[in-house]
């Protein structure tokens, strides 16, 4: 159990690590700074899509009938739409942050539940989560830095505090939910619906850059990372 909690924390620490990378600004020439930012946003979107397609939805539908899975996925999208609307009405933007946490929390719960029965799969899942959190931390930092009146150091420390959600969720998965796969599946599907909404409402539009072609390849690369991690996870 201690190994599972440590791995979940290390995976969570990829969020502040990504934020630290995002603090490196004003690259020269200027087009490189702009194209890099959009490419990383697209990469994060690809990683999120891979999490939905290869981890969250398959894990959720494995234990639930379609008549239960469908409303859970839809409910996630509707709830995140309402949250996005509320943030926009308040004049803020935190879609990248919300997507990052919506991805990290259910996967950390699954990590704890999986680690209780299969140590090797748990280790590989932790590596996959860390790969996801790194670009997501980068993108969330840039978004918050531009929309909030706060220092970059506070955002990095905030992400560090959020990394503690990993061990807490993994502990819940390990001790409470390892014998309740249907509940874990329901959490995964709800999060998947929310991530799909945020990806196509906020993240994908931000990735596009006029007359530049690298950002879409970033989305392909992000999905590739998730696909390779998934194939390693299932032993393909």
Task: Read off the pTM.
Answer: 0.71
Question: What span, in angstroms and rounded, lies between the C-alpha atoms of 195 and 83?
Answer: 12
Q: Could you report the per-residue pLDDT of 40-74, keeping only the tens digit for each?
A: 777 777 877 877 887 778 878 887 888 888 899 89
Mean pLDDT taken over the chain? 78
- Helices 181-198 and 95-115 pack at an angle, to 10 degrees, of 160
Task: Give 162-220 pLDDT, tens digit per residue.
Answer: 999 999 999 988 888 877 888 888 888 888 888 788 777 766 666 565 666 666 666 67
- For residue 203, the 8-state DSSP code is I
Cβ atoms within 10 A of the Cβ of 85, count?
Answer: 10
Residue 204 is predicted with a pLDDT of: 64
What percent of the chain has a predicted confidence (pLDDT) above 70? 80
> What is the count of structural domains for the chain?
1
For 75-86, the pLDDT digits (tens) are 988 888 887 777
pLDDT tens for each residue of 115-173? 877 787 678 778 878 877 887 788 788 888 877 777 888 889 999 999 999 999 999 88
Range of the domain at 157: 2-234
| The predicted structure's pLDDT at residue 214 | 63
Tell me the C-alpha distance between 192 and 190, whole Å. Answer: 5
Residue 74 neighbours by CB distance under 10 Å: 13
């Amino acid at each position: 159990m201690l190994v599972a909690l440590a791995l979940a924390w290390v995976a969570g620490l990829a969020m502040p690590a990504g934020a630290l990378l995002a603090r490196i600004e004003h690259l020269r020439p200027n087009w490189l700074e702009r194209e890099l930012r959009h490419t990383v946003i697209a990469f994060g979107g690809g990683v999120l899509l891979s999490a939905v397609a290869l981890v969250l939805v398959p894990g959720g539908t494995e234990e639930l009938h379609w008549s239960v899975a469908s409303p859970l996925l839809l409910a996630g999208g509707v709830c995140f739409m309402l949250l996005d609307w509320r943030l926009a009405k308040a004049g803020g933007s935190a879609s990248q942050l919300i997507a990052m946490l919506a991805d990290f929390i259910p996967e950390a719960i699954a990590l704890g539940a999986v680690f209780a029965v299969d140590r090797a799969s748990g280790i590989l899942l932790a590596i996959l989560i860390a790969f996801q959190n790194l670009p997501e931390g980068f993108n969330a930092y840039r978004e918050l830095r531009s929309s909030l009146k706060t220092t970059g150091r506070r955002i990095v420390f905030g992400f560090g505090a959020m990394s503690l959600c990993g061990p807490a969720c993994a502990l819940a998965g390990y001790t409470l939910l390892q014998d309740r796969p249907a509940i874990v599946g329901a959490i995964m599907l709800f999060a998947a619906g929310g991530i799909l909404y945020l990806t196509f409402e906020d993240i994908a539009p931000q990735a596009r850059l006029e007359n530049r072609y690298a950002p879409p390849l970033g989305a392909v690369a992000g999905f590739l990372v998730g696909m390779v991690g998934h194939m390693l996870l299932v032993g393909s």
